[in-house]
Amino acid sequence: MAHASTHSPALAGKTAFVTGGSNGIGRAAVRMLAEAGARVIVAYNKGEERAREVLRELPGEGHSIQQLTLEDAASIARAVETTKSARGKLDVLVNSAGFTRPVAHNNLDALDDALFDSIMTANVRGPFAMTRAFRGLLEAGGESVIVNVSSIAAFTGSGSNIAYCASKAALDTMTLSLARVLGPKIRVMGVSPGAVATDFVAGRGRPELEKLAQATPLKKIVEPEDVAMAIMACVTHLKATTGSYITVDAGRFLA
């Protein structure tokens, strides 16, 4: 006769906060974290209804949504206060939100100062501001982890535009710097996808992704769930690792 398992889910009793949690990679990570037993805070910038839709799909209890504008310090402060009063601590922070706009690399004039600044603010200052603001709650977690969603653009120099590549390189270096100073209570990790099957880059549809995939050693399109599994590995398995990143690109950077 088979006995029911008494094994608790890996993240039972843990609280996770995911920026960009209502779409793409963030949405896939939210689901996996919830399936592992975490109570998840789904942070979104715009589109409250979509965030509520994600919430309705999640297994388990105790999940919530949180409006968050990474460029706005007051918005981040509100998120910290809400998390502190409702949860008292934070165990997992996934910095998945980001921004880009396709600009040909040789069209320097099209990458104007305003666009450059907005990309750097969202992709670099945003994750840093989240880390700074949530540090106390993460330290209260005791064995906490921050996962920064980066890109192979950081080390290939190929991506939706030059500023985006620069922003992800900065994020990778920041992951290293933060890992040195936030241990032992907080690990800091990164995941670096290649082209992923989301709507993150305007105009990049399934046919173009398929063409890119055929040029990789694994010849497969990278799905949001593939990246989410790497995020989960950082959270649940790589307990003796900090300051490193996992590449999830079907080998694209090797091609």
- Give per-residue pLDDT as tens, 134-171: 999 999 998 999 999 999 999 999 999 999 999 999 99
pLDDT value of position 213: 85
Average pLDDT rounded to a whole number, residues 213-225: 90
Q: Domain limits of the chain?
A: 15-254
Structural fold of domain 15-254: Rossmann fold (3.40.50)
pLDDT, averaged across the chain: 93
Alpha helices per DSSP H over 88-161: 113-120, 126-141, 153-156
pLDDT value of position 215: 87
Cβ–Cβ under 8 Å, residues 37 and 88: no
77 vs 243: CA distance, rounded Å: 26
19 vs 27: CA distance, rounded Å: 9
Return contacts of 56-65, CB within 8 angstroms, 24+ apart: 57/31, 58/30, 58/31, 58/34, 59/34, 59/35, 60/34, 60/35, 63/34, 63/39, 64/40, 65/22, 65/41
Per cent of the chain over pLDDT 70 is 94
Query: Does 5 have pLDDT greater than 90?
Result: no
**Annotated catalytic, 164?**
yes
CB contact burial 7-34 (16+ within 10 A = b; e otherwise): eeeebeebbbbbbbbbbbbbbbbbbbbb
Residues forming a β-bridge with 26: none
Tokens coding 157 = 């120099």
pLDDT value of position 194: 84
Average pLDDT rounded to a whole number, residues 34-50: 96
Query: Does 57 have pLDDT greater than 90?
Result: yes
Tokens coding 109 = 């004039």
101 vs 116: CA distance, rounded Å: 10
Of the ranges 6-10, 47-51, 117-121, 151-155, which one carries the lowest mean pLDDT score? Answer: 6-10
Q: How many CB atoms lie within 10 A of CB 219?
A: 11
pLDDT value of position 201: 65
Query: Does 182 have pLDDT greater than 80?
Result: yes
Average pLDDT rounded to a whole number, residues 185-202: 84
Higher per-residue pLDDT: 254 or 87? 87
pLDDT value of position 169: 98
Tokens coding 151 = 């890109």
Cβ–Cβ under 8 Å, residues 208 and 191: no
- 67 band by pLDDT with thresholds 50, 70 and 90: very high
Query: Does 193 have pLDDT greater than 80?
Result: yes
Average pLDDT rounded to a whole number, residues 22-39: 96
Write the pLDDT tens digit of every residue in 116-128: 999 999 999 999 9
115 vs 191: CA distance, rounded Å: 24
103 vs 169: CA distance, rounded Å: 18
Higher per-residue pLDDT: 253 or 45? 45
Query: Does 4 have pLDDT greater than 60?
Result: no
Query: Does 78 have pLDDT greater than 60?
Result: yes
Query: Does 229 have pLDDT greater than 50?
Result: yes
Annotated catalytic residue, options 17, 99, 134, 164: 164
| Cis amide bond preceding 9, omega within 30 | no
